C-alpha cells in the first residue's frame, strides 16, 4: 500500500518537487478534484527516507490547505449563494433551505470546518460551503487553520513517523472505516433532524 502512494505521488514530486505538494493540495481546497491527500502521504514517506525535508513538506501542505480553502471561501462568499439558488431550484432548493444551512453553520460551523478535511468530498467543498452559508471569515480562518493542522499532522506527520509501519496502520483504519462512516452518517442524520425540527418551531 505504501508503494501505491509512492507510485501515485512520485511523478508529480519528481517533476515539480514541493510545488507539487502545494499545488495539488491547494486546488483540492477550492473544489477541484486532485490527489492532495495522496501526494501529502507520498511526500511524507519520501521525507522519512531522507529524500525530502519533512519540515518543508508539512509546512507547505498546511499553507496549501489553508490557502486553498480560503479561496473556496471567497468563491462561496461572493458567488455561492447566487449559484445555489440558480441551480438549486432544479432540485427544490430555495431561500428557506439556505437559511437553515446558515443557522446550522452559525451553531455548528466551527466543528464542521475543523473536521471536514478528513472526509473525501467535504474536503474539496469545505470552504465553498462555509462561504455560501455566510460564516464569518475570521471564525472560518481559525477553525480551518486548526483542521488543516490536524489533517497535515495525522497524514503527513503520521506517514513520516510510521514509515514502514504505515501499511499496517492503514489496514487497521480500513478495517474500522465502515463503522466510522456509519457513525458519522448517523450523527449527520440526528443533527439534520434536530435542525429541521428547530426550523419548524422558529
Q: Report phi then psi at 19, rounded to 5.
A: -65, -30
* CB-based contacts of 118, cutoff 8 Å, min separation 6: 150, 151, 154
- Whether 177 is covered by a domain: the verdict is no
Residue 199 covered by a domain? no
The more confidently predicted of residues 186 and 41 is 41
Does the structure show a pLDDT above 90 at 69? yes
pLDDT bin (cut points 50, 70, 90) of residue 64 is very high
pLDDT band at 172 (very low <50, low <70, confident <90, very high): very low
Question: How many structural domains compose the chain?
Answer: 1
Could you tell me if residue 193 is inside a domain? no
Selection from 87, 187, 137 nearest residue 127 by Cα = 137
- 50 lies in a domain? yes
**Residues 21/43, Cβ–Cβ less than 8 Å:** yes
> pLDDT grade, residue 184 (50/70/90)?
low
Share of the chain above pLDDT 70, in %: 66
Q: Is position 23 within any domain?
A: yes
Q: Indicate the pTM of the whole model.
A: 0.75
Q: How far apart are CA 106 and CA 195, in angstroms?
A: 12
Give the range among 22-31, 37-46, 47-56, 91-100 with minimum mean pLDDT. 91-100
Q: Given a cut of 90, is residue 63 above it in pLDDT?
A: yes
Asked whether 49 and 13 are in contact (CB, 8 A), the reply is: no
pLDDT at 149 (0 to 100): 95
| Containing structural domain, residue 101 | 2-164
Residue 77 to residue 59: CA distance in whole angstroms: 27
> Quick check: is 189 in a domain?
no
Is residue 170 domain-resident?
no
**pLDDT of 112 over the 80 cut:** yes
Q: Does a structural domain hold residue 182?
A: no
Give the model confidence (pLDDT) of 118-153 as tens digits: 888 788 888 888 888 888 899 999 999 999 999 999
Amino acid at each position: 500500500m505504501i508503494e501505491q502512494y509512492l507510485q501515485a505521488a512520485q511523478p508529480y514530486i519528481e517533476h515539480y518537487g514541493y510545488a507539487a505538494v502545494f499545488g495539488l493540495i491547494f486546488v483540492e481546497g477550492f473544489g477541484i478534484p486532485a490527489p492532495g491527500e495522496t501526494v501529502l502521504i507520498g511526500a511524507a514517506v519520501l521525507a522519512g527516507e531522507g529524500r525530502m525535508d519533512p519540515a518543508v513538506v508539512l509546512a507547505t501542505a498546511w499553507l496549501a490547505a489553508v490557502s486553498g480553502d480560503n479561496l473556496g471561501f471567497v468563491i462561496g462568499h461572493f458567488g455561492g449563494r447566487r449559484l445555489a439558488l440558480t441551480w438549486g431550484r432544479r432540485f427544490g432548493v430555495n431561500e428557506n433551505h439556505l437559511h437553515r444551512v446558515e443557522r446550522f453553520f452559525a451553531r455548528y460551523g466551527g466543528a464542521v470546518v475543523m473536521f471536514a478535511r478528513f472526509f473525501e468530498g467535504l474536503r474539496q467543498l469545505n470552504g465553498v460551503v462555509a462561504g455560501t452559508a455566510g460564516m464569518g471569515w475570521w471564525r472560518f480562518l481559525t477553525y480551518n487553520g486548526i483542521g488543516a493542522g490536524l489533517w497535515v499532522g495525522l497524514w503527513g506527520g503520521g506517514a513520516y513517523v510510521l514509515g514502514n509501519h504505515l501499511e499496517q496502520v492503514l489496514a487497521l483504519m480500513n478495517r474500522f472505516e465502515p463503522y466510522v462512516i456509519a457513525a458519522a452518517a448517523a450523527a449527520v442524520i440526528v443533527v439534520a433532524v434536530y435542525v429541521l425540527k428547530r426550523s419548524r418551531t422558529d
